[in-house]
Every structure is written in C-alpha cells, then in structure tokens.
Structure 1
C-alpha cells in the first residue's frame, strides 16, 4: 500500500514537472471567436468577419462573377444559397475574411454554373465554397 502511494505521488510529480498537469486548462487557452457577425443598420443583412483560421477550416474559396451571354452574370452554382422564403443569395467578399450576403436572381443553371439576371457586378469576388457555412454563421445556427 505504501509503495502504491509513493508511486502515485511520484507520478503526480513527474506529470507536474513535465507540464502535463493542467493540460486541459493549457489546451483551452483564451477563447477566440472565429466569426464576428455585425448587423447592418436598416437591413436584415449582416457583415461577417472571420479569422484566417476560420476561413481555412471552412474551406472558403472565392471566384469572380463573370459576364455571360444575354446580359447575364455567371457564378459557380455552389455560390448560391437559398433562404426559407426561396430567395437566392451569394456571399460577396470585399476584403480578406469579410463577407456579406447579396441578393441574386437565378435565371438558369447548367454544368455547375448559375446564370443570373441580377446580382453582384462582373468581377466581384463571391464565395464559391463555404457559402452555406457562412449563411449558418450569419443566422446563428450551431451556437
């Protein structure tokens, strides 16, 4: 019994000396909010600001909206998200890690491309991968 107690004390001492004591607290570290959601005045929309790590973990990938025949715009169909009312949206990015929803009108979809009759101007960066995750973050889903 005395041997067990000595072994336990010795093990606790080794763990403390090696820095393993309090590992849970050390791993937790300061809480970092990966996404900041700011409501835009006079609008139902928000501006989302993500940390670089959050952008990486969500796999956010951008693509530029392109002019298309018939005075339309083309964006990857993966960029389009729909709300509960059936309205179509894309997330635009004007700065690194900053995103905002923009309304679009989808005329058609072919081969993974959405053709828009209304939306962000040609050349605007839209979120081609990760738009659904941004929409969830904006709406507070998963909190």
Structure 2
C-alpha cells in the first residue's frame, strides 16, 4: 500500500531524475563529443577486388591506441626486407601480414613472405618496400577493426 507521503515525493524524484538526465551531455569531454560529431574513430573502406581494407583513423584514435610504426630496412646482404617482429600478424589460415602506413592516419594490410625470424627481427623475401612505415604497436587492433567493422 502506498502512503500519501510517498505519492507527494514522486514528482520531486521525477524532476530530479529529469534534471540529471538532461545534464549528462554537459559532462562529456569536448574532444570526445567533437570526434563523434565530426568523424568516426575509424573509417574502414574494403577494396572489392582484393578484399583488403583501407583504414583511416582519427588522430584521437591513434593516440588512444598508442599506435607506433617503424621503418622497413633492407635485408641482410641486400636480399629482401627487414622489419620488427612486433609488426608481423598471422591470420586464421597462417598467412603473414603487416599493416603499412602509406599516408598520415591511413593503414593498409599487406602480405609478407617470411624467410627468417631472428632476434626480434623478420627477414622477408616479399613485403613492403624499404622505407615504408609498418605498424609495430596496435596492429592487432587494426586487424580487428578491418574484420569486425569493415563488413
């Protein structure tokens, strides 16, 4: 059974809840609101021919992921290319890939053919050109973004 006192408090409680509800957007950080209003954290565009996506990240997403790159170097004796092991990814079929950074904030998956892994470095006979930046931190997140949101 409800008392009259409880019924009198109901409109006050509803007013307090409404005030809190309408004040929540004011609590959001301006940068987070600007990101959702102006651009998404990641834009995934699949290439219909290759099936490989081009991922464009917002600057805020790059900072959140603490994404880092390193440059591909010439392989020992000029054969192939050399890059950090941290850049190497394996897909479900066991194929090897890296994410390259061809333009600012743009990332693309590229196949590599590994010939040797030693002391934290990968030597590949097929891979990105010497001087190409490859993702060494947050490559797994790019891989997830490509296959989860890029459908």
TM-score by length of 1: 0.80
> Equivalent residue for 2:49?
42
> Equivalent residue for 1:94?
102
Note the alpha carbon deviations across 1:61-96, whole angstroms, 9 max, x for none.
Answer: 011100021402111101010111100000011111
The gaps in structure 1 that reach 5 residues or longer are none
> Equivalent residue for 1:22?
22
Does residue 146 of structure 2 align to residue 138 of structure 1? yes
> Cα offset for 1:22?
2.2
Normalized per residue, which structure has more helix? 2
Normalized per residue, which structure has more strand? 1
> Cα offset for 1:24?
2.5
The gaps in structure 2 that reach 5 residues or longer are none
> Cα offset for 1:21?
5.9
**RMSD between aligned alpha carbons?**
2.7
Mapping of residues 25-104 of structure 1, within 5 Å: 25-26=25-26, 27=28, 29=33, 30=36, 32-70=39-77, 71-104=79-112
Distance change (3 Å), C-alpha of 1:23 and 1:113: farther
Matches of 2:23 and 2:105, distance apart in 1: 31
TM-score by length of 2: 0.76
Aligned residues: 134
